[in-house]
Chain A
Amino acid sequence: MGTKNWPLWEIFVRSKNGLEHRHFGSLHAADAEMAIENARDVYTRRNEGVSIWVVESKNITASNPEHNGEMFEPAQDKVYRHPTFYELPDEVKYM
């Protein structure tokens, strides 16, 4: 077994200009350059992308799903953030 394992990288691919980069998966590589080359072969064999970002997995900080309640529930009762909350006379079109 190798003295030091290749680190894990998260791969983000822009499928075409005009769209955002999206998480495609992960892979192992010795450095960022190799991660991009490997991502080309692993995730874009059929023209799935025009641009690749790689981020070493250890650099990603994720929210904890156990705290989803306090994180995301406060948004649930704020219906006034949506346009349908507001009443308009029927005569008003296009608003």
Chain B
Amino acid sequence: MSEEQIKNLEEQFEARIARDEKIEPKDWMPEKYRQTHIRQISQHAHSEVVGMLPEGNWITRAPSLRRKVALLAKIQDEAGHGLYLYSACETLGVSRDELYDQLHSGKAKYSSIFNYPTITWADMGAIGWLVDGAAIINQVPLCNTSFGPYARAMVRVCKEESFHQRQGYEIMIKLANGTPEQKDMAQDALNRWWWPSLMMLGPTDAESIHTEQSMKWKLKRKSNDDLRQQFIDQTVPQAHLIGLTIPDPDLKWNEEKGSYDFGPIDWDEFWQVVKGHGPCNKERMKARVEAWEEGEWVRDAAMAYAEKQKERKEKQAV
């Protein structure tokens, strides 16, 4: 194809997206669109999968059967979300093995928030309430993104996600209304998860390199700073309602703006964790790689069994 032809195709392509048409896997697309989507969708899938690890830590120690079934169901959903997203990503011509390899080799990123430890039961509450809350704010606009398989996966994910947030907030309500020790535990979890949750919504607009192109392709509908403000405005009253304090001395309602002002975010910490120096980066990757490598004989055995069955059936048919 000549340069001019490609330019022409690109213009038609951008116009389709501007008209709110969806792009499907077999449609022509610019190479950069394909690569950007592989990167974003796979990072999203990896985040769902790695996100199971901090919560898996508490399954055996959930304080009641009710909490245990809810936590198990939530973690199973996250596995499901990872799978929806991996298969959406594979429609772009990348294999599942390549995607796993990118995660395991450290080439692909996942959400940094999962590199923090879950040291008390209250962390299960804080994660559901804050981390899933921030994730929902990020994900809802993606239900209308331009790439069809990603948009469809996000619709399913968002439908399932709101139970996650509610179960987390319910854990916080119970602890906040419990003994003084339980309330302290809830407050401590909020103190530790608040700032990482704000960071989860991404670098400030001034530092975000992908925003403009992503807006055009509807991979992003609102800027990181807008999403962060939305998260703060909706979450602060929920903390107040159950008698917990947001760990930000500068947090103040701004009547004029109709939203909260908040203190500076420690972006050095964010970049440290992104670069692999968070408290649990190594542990998380070790767990993933081990699960993959130690599961290899199971995958091989299942494949060998399937092939044997197929051969047997073919013989019988003769």
Contact = CB atoms under 8 A, between A and B. Distances in A.
Contacts of A27: 83, 87
Interface stretch (A4-12, A73-81, A83-91): A4-12
A34 B303 contact: no
A31 B83 contact: no
B94 to A, nearest CB: 12
A5 B95 contact: yes
Nearest to A9: B87
A26 B306 contact: no
Secondary structure call for the B interface:
helix
A42 B96 contact: no
A59 interface: no
Given A3-B300, A6-B299, A45-B80, A30 B97 contact: no
B318 to A, nearest CB: 20
A25 to B, nearest CB: 5
Contact of A1 (B97, B302, B305): B97
A42 B80 contact: yes
Contacts of B305: 30-31
Contacts, number: 59
Contact of B80 (A4, A31, A41): A41
A76 B302 CA distance: 49
A30 B26 contact: no
A2 B299 contact: yes
Interface string A17-32: 0000000011110110
Contacts of A31: 302, 305-306, 309-310
Interface in B69-116: 73, 76-77, 80, 83-84, 87-88, 90, 95-97, 101
Contact of A34 (B26, B95, B101, B306): B306
B160 to A, nearest CB: 7
Nearest to B104: A1
B160 A46 contact: yes
A87 B295 CA distance: 69
B181 interface: no
Interface in B263-318: 296, 299-300, 302-303, 305-306, 309-310
Q: Which 8 A-B pairs have the closest CB atoms?
A: A31-B306, A30-B302, A30-B306, A26-B87, A2-B299, A30-B303, A65-B27, A4-B303
A5 B97 CA distance: 8
A92 interface: no
Contact of A62 (B26, B28, B73, B97): B26
Nearest to B302: A30
A75 to B, nearest CB: 19
Given A46-B160, A65-B27, A66-B28, A5 B80 contact: no
A37 B73 CA distance: 17
Contacts of A30: 299, 302-303, 305-306
Contacts of B310: 31
B199 interface: no
A21 B262 CA distance: 50
Contact of A8 (B27, B90, B153, B299): B90
A64 B80 contact: no
Given A31-B309, A45-B80, A26 B90 contact: yes
Given A2-B296, A25-B84, A65-B28, 8 more contacts: A5-B95, A5-B97, A30-B299, A31-B302, A31-B310, A45-B73, A45-B160, A65-B27
